[in-house]
Amino acid sequence: MRKEIKLCLVYRDMWQSAGKYVPRVDQLVRVADPIIEMGCFDRVETNGGGFEQVNLLFGENPNVAVRKWTQPFNDAGIQTQMLERGLNAIRMSPVPADVRKLMFKVKKLQGTDIARSFDGLNNPQNLENSFKFAKEGGMIAQGALSLTFSPVHDVDYYINLANQYIEKGAEEICIKDMAGIGRPASIGRIVKGIRERHPDIIIQYHGHSTPGFSVASSLEAARNGADIIDVGMEPLSWGTGHADLLTIHAMLKDAGFTVKDVNHKAYMQARGLSQEFVNDFLGEYINPLNRQMNSLLIGPGLPGGMMGSLMADLESNLKGVNKWLAKRGKDLMTQEDLLLKLFEEVEYAWPRLGYPCLVTPYSQYVKNVSLMNAIQLIKGKERWSMIDENTWDMILGRSGHLAGPIAPELTNMAKQQNRAFYNGNPQDLYPDELELFAAKMDEKGWDYGQDNEELLEYALHPPQYEDFKSGKAKERFLEDLDKRRSQKIATPAVATPAPAPSVYQPKVLHLDINGESYKVSVSYDEQEAQVSSPQAQAVKVPSPAPSASNGSNGNGQYEEITAPLEGKFFLTKESSDIPVKVGDSIKEGDTIAYIEAMKVINAITADKSGKIVEIVARHGEEIEEDDVILKIQ
């Protein structure tokens, strides 16, 4: 008898692997019926991951979205599934146990059937509560093996890991190949090993297509005992997303498996609606590079799910790097130049960070540190001079045990900064908080919502929820969307390919006009390169020119400490922390402030010693790279 293989459409992940946002609730409701009518899906991934947070960011209530979006699938008997991050639940940072428990209860009541739980370090200890809370809430507890390719992550490692997950309560197993770098033969052996030990458990394969292995991996998984294969569909299959439904469907049928037929008329309706959503506003946040497959990612192994944010980070950091290069009369870099340097640095830094699985949030941590390393090296500085606090928590064991050892250079740095390593249960570091947030909602006069879902949302995403409630989130989103659309209109596309950056010379001009000295900086961003029309900005050079880092405040000479990256500036990380103030003496290496960038908090350390005479940057406001933070004598 031919074995039946079921298919799951990862509709949420399709969007978040391509860009920043997901469709609005009205759009999701429209596309639900055609997806159902396609007739080939037993499961649909509807929410989880960053779904709730990105809804808040564009001013939409995620609880309303989840209920309305899952309802048609519930009515049709198609199982819905969500992605959750274990200790981090559905955000980037650890979550108290009482909030995690409420989350599973709420998501089931909102219409989600299956909780796919993963831990970025593959720690069974961190997932034990996920399995327990999911089942108590009425959900199916699926344990996901975060697949990566390293000397410490071999076939036996994953087979043994599945055993541990099942012992701790997992009812299903997912092979989560988030970067698509799992080699097909190895994936087949992993599935076979799990199936031999657990003949009745459901095994689901999830693979991104970025480096090109996922079609072969899907076939190997099916041949060796997988029950369900995750797929994407046009216009968002391939690239950093997932193998296309039609390709996987045809391949499985040819291999002798039974798969449900595809209603092609409904397929074209769902495809057309998804393209309509891209054209509406979602395409403004989809980098074209994310629609391409890239075998360079076999080396660094970065996952498709973070490539959307990665390209946005590169875009902003490239401007800062080129600004620095232009000031020194050096050749500017392209986005591809910086991307390649990042990939090379990930290959260097990842083993030294203990081989964390390159999946949310640890892929972001490795990427952020590697990007900072690459930028510091470009500027002639040393590696590891910018390690964010989240990454330090990972290094120190506050997120769980790493698969590999930490490099001596990092353990020595931790000792020098008086950072202690932790060997306990990470959940113990985060006490219950529901009562705290309930009290805050009472003070504000906010309703807890149906099934306490608004309380959950506030406890999970406090700043984003407050901005949503005040209307600031929607206002910022609409302003940003208008800006992106205006830039597109202002920069017409041309048919000719962009010339190589090396033809743009000179980068900096020094001109003398009517006796006045001017320095002209020529900058080329991505859009300017497309139209081959560099913009020049003339800035009058005072004479005599002061030192870039020295000046006077009227009481003698001072030096400036500047921001090493752009982001939101904070004097303290926690409300209970004591900020630096005018009159304080600081020494080189002291933490003086924090900048939130690339989804993490970066501690800013002094690169010189002295007495603070002025604090220039303002707490809670955006800051650009090289802006002055404070002045010292």
**Exposure string for 33-62, b = 16+ CB within 10 A, e = fewer:** ebbbebebbbbbbbbbbbbbbbbbbbbbbb
Residues 96 and 184 in one domain: yes
* 84, 164: one domain: yes
Q: Does 475 fall in a domain?
A: no
Is residue 277 one of the residues assigned to a domain? yes
Q: Which sign, positive or negative, has the C-alpha torsion 369, 371, 372, 378?
A: positive
Coil vs helix vs strand at 418? coil
**Residue 629: phi, psi to the nearest 5?**
-90, -55
Q: Which domain holds residue 94?
A: 6-285
Query: Is 446 inside a domain boundary?
Result: no
In terms of domains, do 229 and 311 share one? Answer: no
Q: Do 532 and 618 share a structural domain?
A: no
Residue 543, number of CB atoms within 10 A of its CB: 7
Considering the domain architecture, whether residues 139 and 229 belong to the same structural domain is answered as yes
Shared domain check, 518 and 374? no
Q: What is the mean pLDDT of each run of 10 residues along the chain (633 residues)?
A: 89 92 96 98 96 92 97 98 95 93 98 96 95 98 93 95 98 94 95 98 95 95 97 95 97 97 98 97 88 77 62 76 88 88 90 89 87 89 86 92 93 92 95 96 97 97 94 94 86 46 41 46 39 34 38 64 83 78 87 77 84 89 85 91
| Structural domains of the chain, count | 4
Q: What is the pLDDT of residue 292?
A: 82
Last residue of one domain, picked from the residues 260, 285, 310: 285
- The residues near 29 (Cβ < 8 Å, ≥ 6 apart) are 68, 69, 72
Is residue 246 located within the same domain as residue 339?
no
| Final residue before a domain boundary, out of 396, 429, 462 | 429
Distance CA 29, CA 23 (A): 10
In a domain? residue 447: no
Q: Which candidate, 216, 275, 278, places its Cα nearest to that of 247?
A: 216
Question: Beta partners for 224?
Answer: none
Per the domain annotation, does 470 fall within a domain? no
Domain edge (last residue) among 405, 429, 453: 429
Whether residues 94 and 133 share a domain: the answer is: yes
**Looking at the structure, do residues 319 and 254 belong to the same domain, yes or no?**
no
Contact between 309 and 598 (Cβ < 8 Å): yes
Do 366 and 314 share a structural domain?
yes
Q: Are residues 536 and 554 in the same domain?
A: no
Query: What pLDDT is stored for residue 248 in this prediction?
Result: 98
Residue 536 shares a structural domain with residue 555: no
Q: Note whether residue 335 is domain-resident.
A: yes
In a domain, 585, yes or no: yes
Q: Give pLDDT, residue 598.
A: 60
Residue 435 lies in a domain: no
| Tokens matching residue 535 | 């913009």
CATH number of 112's domain: 3.20.20.70
- Which residue, among 540, 498, 503, 538, has the nearest Cα to 522 in the 3D structure? 538
Per 3-state DSSP, the chain is made up of helix, strand and coil in percentages (nearest 5) of: 45, 20, 35
Pair of tokens at residue 402: 């790493």
Question: What CATH number has the domain bearing residue 604?
Answer: 2.40.50.100
CA distance 209 to 182: 11
Contact by Cβ (8 Å): 425, 94 = no
